[in-house]
Structure 1
Amino acid sequence: MDQGNTAFMLIAAALVLLMTPGLAFFYGGLVKAKSVISMMMLSFGALGLIGVLWVVYGYAIAFPGSEGLVPPWSIDWSAIGLTSLLEVPEGAAYPPLAFVAFQATFAILTVALVSGAIADRAKFGSWMIFAAIWATIVYFPVASWVFNFGLAEDGSFAYGGWITYGMQEWFGVGAIDFAGGTAVHINAGAAALALALVLGKRLGFQKGVHVPHNPPFVLLGAGLLWFGWFGFNAGSELAADGTAALAFVNTIAAPAAALLAWLIVEKIKDGKPTSVGAASGAVAGLVAITPACASLTPFWAIILGLVAGAVCALAIELKYKWGFDDSLDVVGIHLVGGLLGTLYLGFFANSTGLIYSGNLTQLLVQAIAAVSVLVYSFVLAYAIGWVIQKTIGFRVKNEDEVAGIDTVVHGEEGYVLEGARA
């Protein structure tokens, strides 16, 4: 067993786990002051719930097979509860549980991302029910499609999900998603759009009405996300090697460029660059580079960051034109950014992109993967959310939304000043 790679994976897993509290701060700063506890609790609720479900059966669904094309919906019954993974096989590079831990943090974060679309108006219990069902029938299977693959000794695919192994068999090249552009960001963004439509608009929804109550929280959250993202991207190599180093550098370059691009768009469009714009631009670049971090040169990573920062800065305005209330721009940043990063590989991926190979096969498989995950996640998320809304209710009462849902849902306030209540 390689103790260096084992340590690398465990540290990467810890970094990715930190991203969920970071997301809580990022989202918490963006909502109004009387909803900050509720917003942050949606992330922490996902952390507790999905962490347990992953150990009980999530891993068994996401990584079920090891021979040929793994069926889209299958389960490794021997992996239930992870007891079969306690021993380290002879010759293994790292303990199986190190990989289990790393992938657990991805599942937790992906579910937490969805919550940004329903800020200020969601019941905590209903969210937890949605999170459990959506993770079970959407995230865990999609993770299998994308991440569940193994290589033969000659480097060729030996088994895997249809997005990686299947595409390789059918088109000669597999879809590239190094760290989760489809499985994490497109997946979460599509579910966020579905829930935004199910729950409807916040009261008084229009541009300029709902403003972030705590930009320092937003900047703190973005910083924690960026820090954790090095584990997210570089850790996906599962080894401390040159590919991990490339992913690490691109995780600096792309979000840095996206941050600048977002600020430039803000300056041109609104006259002033903002701190929230800087944070959002960095996250947009991180999202876009996620699937591509190991398949682009740093130069093309910078170009991707510039494109993602500018496009996502404009995409967040679509909710006002199209009339859906994606509260914290999960669609504009994660869905749009995930699509950009995934499709960008069709043109600029090392060796197989259009500019290197002269053909569009890589773009074709990237598009198939992106659209498939988007449609699958959106349809099932909408159905789950609709059933919850029509039965026990997903949205709080209007009067609770106006008053602020922290005290109603959790009996707490985010800011209690001495001698007065805020």
Structure 2
Amino acid sequence: MGYANSGLAYSTWCANGFLYNLGALDFAGGGPVHIASGAASLAYSLFIGKRKDWIDPKTKKEYEPQNTVITFIGVSIIWFSWLCFNSGTLLAVNTRTGYIMANTQIAASSAMLAFVAVDYAFTRKWSLIAACEGAVAGLVNITPSCGFYTPYWSFITSLFVGGCCRLAYRFNEKIGIDDTTRSFIIHGFGGILGSICLGVFASPYIAGTDGVTEIDGGWIFHHWKQMGYQFAAWTTCFFWSLGATYIICFAIDKIPGLRIKADENLEAMGADFFEMAENDGNYVDAMYPQFSLKAIQGDIYDDYELGNINVLDGLAEGTGSSVGEERNDKSTHDMKVVSA
């Protein structure tokens, strides 16, 4: 990925770069970072193929993320960091910096709303994971354009990109791409849409608020060639990264001792269990089948709420529970929980 990205970064921002001299716009990395990483994710997914059981046999859908809380915390950190990432690209503090910060915040928020709304239309459920993915889609959209948009267009384009990214999830399902994190959709497809929108709505006024930058703007300012420049930029970033990543994966896979695809045992058990014999869901996985609906509907629920008992491996270990004394005269510490 670093090999593929370096050439794209040079071409986009260096004074001698092909895309820079062509006139393509990209403020903070929509092409070299997001479109390139999305294409790399697609290449990697195509190279290693699908997992043996990548569809949940019960729901007939892809397996859901394991830890929603960690996902939320991670996206919160990313969102905050993105404000610094986008505005820091300017290497100065001026009026344009304020627009960049505002555009970044508005984009993440509006894309999140659109993404959740479309997700709800399909599932009839409100999803925190969908909100997190929508926020990232908005941040991806605004990365190349945060220094060129008015806040109004930041809002409108991010609504559009957020909704389209959620609709594109069916693309993976239709053609059978096992992209667990959906990086191709969020970063690749979202980045492409962001680059296209930039060719339409880029504003010479916003770009010039730093007192240095001069551009002709996008289609709404009658600069019709800008869309062609943006097309050249995103196609270059996408296909260069796609091809380079696939070649790198092929080369690494041929080196003795290195292998891209996991073996069947690791795939079946999961990397955590296979490599370390544990994961962060051990306690919860053991608790739920044992602490059944019958148990929590009984008197034991009160003690559970008060913290008097802990349910583990089918045993409720108490701390002097009155309920435990009534149900088990021999011990207040070991009490079998009724299973459903």
Q: What TM bracket, shorter-length normalisation?
A: 0.7 to 0.9
Where does residue 163 of structure 2 map in the other structure?
310
Where does residue 223 of structure 1 map in the other structure?
76
Map 1:89-100 onto structure 2 (within 5 A). Answer: none
Where does residue 145 of structure 1 map in the other structure?
11
Distance (Å, rounded) in 2 between the aligned partners of 1:230 and 1:250: 9
Report the alpha carbon displacement of residue 361 of structure 1 after superposing the two structures with TM. 0.8
Where does residue 345 of structure 1 map in the other structure?
198
Distance (Å, rounded) in 1 between the aligned partners of 2:148 and 2:76: 24
**Native 8 Å contact 2:106 2:155 kept in 1:** yes
CA displacement, residues 349-378 of structure 1 (integer Å, 9 cap, x when unaligned): 00311011x232111101101101111110
What code does the residue aligned with 1:143 have?
A: A
Where does residue 243 of structure 2 map in the other structure?
379
Among candidates 174, 179, 185, match of residue 34 of structure 2: 185
Report the alpha carbon displacement of residue 410 of structure 1 after superposing the two structures with TM. 5.5
Q: Does 1:322 align with 2:171?
A: no
Map 1:9-408 onto structure 2 (within 5 A). Answer: 134-135=1-2, 137-148=3-14, 159-164=15-20, 166-167=21-22, 174-206=23-55, 208-351=61-204, 352-356=217-221, 358-391=222-255, 392-408=258-274
Cα root mean square deviation, aligned: 1.7
Greater Rg, structure 1 or structure 2? 2
Q: Which has the higher contact order (CA 8 A, sep 6+)?
A: 1
Report the alpha carbon displacement of residue 241 of structure 1 after superposing the two structures with TM. 1.2
CA displacement, residues 71-92 of structure 1 (integer Å, 9 cap, x when unaligned): xxxxxxxxxxxxxxxxxxxxxx
Where does residue 325 of structure 2 map in the other structure?
none
Distance (Å, rounded) in 2 between the aligned partners of 1:314 and 1:368: 25
Where does residue 214 of structure 2 map in the other structure?
none
Report the alpha carbon displacement of residue 317 of structure 1 after superposing the two structures with TM. 1.9
Report the alpha carbon displacement of residue 144 of structure 1 after superposing the two structures with TM. 1.3
**Native 8 Å contact 1:251 1:289 kept in 2:** yes
CA displacement, residues 58-81 of structure 1 (integer Å, 9 cap, x when unaligned): xxxxxxxxxxxxxxxxxxxxxxxx
Distance (Å, rounded) in 2 between the aligned partners of 1:388 and 1:252: 40
Distance (Å, rounded) in 2 between the aligned partners of 1:396 and 1:412: 18
What code does the residue aligned with 2:52 have?
A: L
What code does the residue aligned with 2:203 have?
A: N
Structure (1 or 2) with the greater helix fraction: 1
Where does residue 296 of structure 2 map in the other structure?
none
Report the alpha carbon displacement of residue 160 of structure 1 after superposing the two structures with TM. 3.5
Report the alpha carbon displacement of residue 407 of structure 1 after superposing the two structures with TM. 4.1
Report the alpha carbon displacement of residue 146 of structure 1 after superposing the two structures with TM. 1.7
**Native 8 Å contact 1:316 1:331 kept in 2:** no
Distance (Å, rounded) in 2 between the aligned partners of 1:236 and 1:353: 21
SS at match of 2:73: helix
SS at match of 2:148: coil
CA displacement, residues 235-270 of structure 1 (integer Å, 9 cap, x when unaligned): 111111111111100011111110110111012121
- Per the normalisation by structure 1, the TM-score is 0.61
SS at match of 2:89: helix
SS at match of 1:287: helix
Distance (Å, rounded) in 2 between the aligned partners of 1:187 and 1:142: 8
Distance (Å, rounded) in 1 between the aligned partners of 2:231 and 2:133: 25
**Native 8 Å contact 2:103 2:146 kept in 1:** yes
SS at match of 1:142: helix
Where does residue 98 of structure 1 map in the other structure?
none
Distance (Å, rounded) in 1 between the aligned partners of 2:62 and 2:27: 38
**Native 8 Å contact 1:347 1:355 kept in 2:** yes
Where does residue 338 of structure 2 map in the other structure?
none
**Native 8 Å contact 1:316 1:333 kept in 2:** no
Report the alpha carbon displacement of residue 416 of structure 1 after superposing the two structures with TM. 5.5
How many residue pairs were aligned?
A: 268
